[in-house]
């Protein structure tokens, strides 16, 4: 099999992973090759046991074309979604379906010189326990907080310059890392509400306030990969020290860390709430976040009050970005998007107050439909986006040999 053929087949596989099925004409357009070559390559992939005929496409007035999709167990992807305190590890098949339950672990990153070793051990353990053919794993995609240089595989904030190289060496699989908010944005532009959007901003509402940016239809990373540090816009003169070492950053009065501290202070002063100080003092960050979100969903007055004030301040930050970018859509994603529509009114109020009306007249603000799983989906897609760096010849040849038998 020639190198050109392998590249073309990888591009077909990439296109089909990102969709629910394509016709010959659509595949031809996606890979930029003639219709006849696309048909030949697809036929070979069907014979090799990589693709399957899915059925006829919906009618658009004429003969309905045959569509093809990937066979689920053709390959697997390891997806890792990390935040400052909690990491999740998932293994997905070629149809973006989980093959084992998501593994979740408490893993604080700040000041933890064992964090890289621990997450790598956990990845290896998840792979070892998965009931799959390990040779079919294409690679590992990881979304993680911090200043990330995806090209160099470096996390300059938490895990070090050799993050990607270390995990690749220890696991034996190609490893691709990306900032967590950019990973979420990748999921939104491929499968979510940023699909077909030319310019969009995806907010990652979590322990910090991250930002993934879609400019001219593509994920924008900036010169060194550090674009989108929304948390660190110097918005306040409050003297509060931020995690970045500066004072007055947006994060100091908008992060989930801030909201929980605020709730504990209000509880101490005697405010009525479903929450208790002891429940917010737990070492299990996932449990603490879940209790806070559940209280908001139940209509807890204190929690809604805190979120509303935070949302207004986030809206002030968004107003600054809107004057610079003029996005068509703002998508609220990440862990805290789970509280739902509580975010929308105060964010819109701040935008109305601080933005020039003409700049916002055609901008929509929406809640992500991918939810907290967006980072896992984006991490898996990160591998497919780098499929040219993933050895697949053994998968194609093995499938072809099986067919010959």
Q: What confidence tens digit (pLDDT) does each residue in 360-389 have?
A: 888 999 999 998 899 999 999 999 999 999
Beta bridge partners of 92: 77, 98
Q: What confidence tens digit (pLDDT) does each residue in 165-217 have?
A: 999 999 999 999 999 999 999 999 999 999 989 999 999 999 989 999 999 99
Query: What percentage of the chain exceeds 70 in pLDDT?
Result: 96
* Topology agreement, domain 3-70 and domain 193-369: no
CATH placement of domain 193-369 = 3.30.420.40
**Closest among 323, 384, 124 to 116, alpha carbons compared:** 124
> Please, what sign has the CA dihedral across residues 335, 337, 339, 342?
positive
CATH superfamily of 74-184+375-391: ATPase, nucleotide binding domain (3.30.420.40)
Q: What was the pLDDT predicted at 57?
A: 61
Q: What confidence tens digit (pLDDT) does each residue in 122-157 have?
A: 999 999 999 999 999 999 999 999 999 999 999 998
Q: Which residues contact 19 (CB under 8 A, 6 or more apart)?
A: none
**Fold adopted by 3-70:** Arc Repressor Mutant, subunit A (1.10.10)
Tell me the domain boundaries of the chain.
3-70, 74-184+375-391, 193-369
Q: What confidence tens digit (pLDDT) does each residue in 49-66 have?
A: 899 888 666 655 556 678
The alpha carbon of 273 is separated from its chain's Cα centroid by a whole number of angstroms, namely 33
Rounded Cα gap, residues 74 and 78, in angstroms: 14
Please report which confidence band the pLDDT of residue 396 belongs to, taking 50, 70 and 90 as the band edges.
confident
Half-sphere CA count of 169, side-chain side, radius 13 A: 8
**Closest among 403, 381, 405, 383 to 50, alpha carbons compared:** 403
Rounded Cα gap, residues 136 and 72, in angstroms: 11
């Amino acid at each position: 099999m020639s190198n050109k053929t392998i590249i073309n087949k990888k591009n077909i596989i990439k296109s089909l992973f990102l969709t629910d099925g394509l016709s010959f004409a659509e595949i031809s357009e996606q890979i930029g090759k003639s219709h006849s070559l696309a048909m030949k390559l697809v036929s070979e992939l069907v014979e090799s046991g990589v693709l399957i005929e899915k059925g006829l496409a919906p009618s658009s007035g004429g003969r309905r074309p045959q569509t093809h999709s990937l066979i689920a167990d053709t390959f697997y992807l390891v997806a890792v979604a990390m935040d400052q305190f909690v990491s999740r590890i998932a293994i997905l098949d070629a149809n973006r379906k989980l093959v084992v339950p998501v593994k979740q672990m408490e893993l604080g990153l700040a000041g933890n010189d064992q964090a890289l070793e621990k997450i790598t051990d956990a990845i290896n353990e998840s792979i070892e326990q998965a009931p799959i053919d390990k040779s079919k794993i294409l690679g590992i995609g990881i979304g993680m907080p911090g200043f990330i240089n995806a090209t160099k595989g470096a996390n300059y904030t938490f895990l070090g310059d050799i993050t990607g190289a270390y995990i690749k060496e220890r696991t034996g699989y190609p490893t691709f890392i990306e900032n967590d908010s950019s990973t979420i944005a990748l999921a939104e532009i491929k499968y979510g509400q940023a699909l077909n959007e030319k310019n969009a901003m995806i907010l990652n509402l979590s322990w910090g306030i991250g930002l993934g940016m879609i400019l001219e239809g593509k994920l924008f990373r900036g010169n060194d990969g550090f674009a989108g540090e929304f948390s660190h816009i110097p918005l306040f003169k409050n003297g509060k020290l931020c995690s970045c070492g500066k004072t007055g950053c947006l994060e100091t009065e908008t992060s989930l860390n801030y909201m929980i501290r605020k709730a504990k202070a209000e509880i101490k002063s005697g405010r009525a709430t479903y929450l208790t100080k002891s429940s917010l003092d737990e070492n299990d960050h996932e449990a603490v976040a879940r209790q806070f979100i559940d209280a908001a969903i139940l209509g807890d007055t204190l929690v809604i009050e805190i979120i509303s004030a935070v949302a207004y301040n986030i809206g002030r930050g968004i107003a600054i970005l809107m004057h610079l970018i003029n996005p068509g859509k703002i998508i609220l994603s990440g862990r805290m998007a789970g509280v739902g529509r509580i975010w929308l009114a105060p964010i819109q109020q701040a935008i109305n107050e601080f933005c020039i009306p003409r700049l916002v007249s055609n901008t929509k603000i929406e809640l992500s439909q991918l939810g907290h799983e967006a980072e896992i989906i984006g991490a898996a897609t990160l591998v497919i986006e780098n499929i040219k760096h993933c050895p697949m010849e053994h998968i194609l040849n093995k499938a072809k040999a099986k067919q010959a038998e």
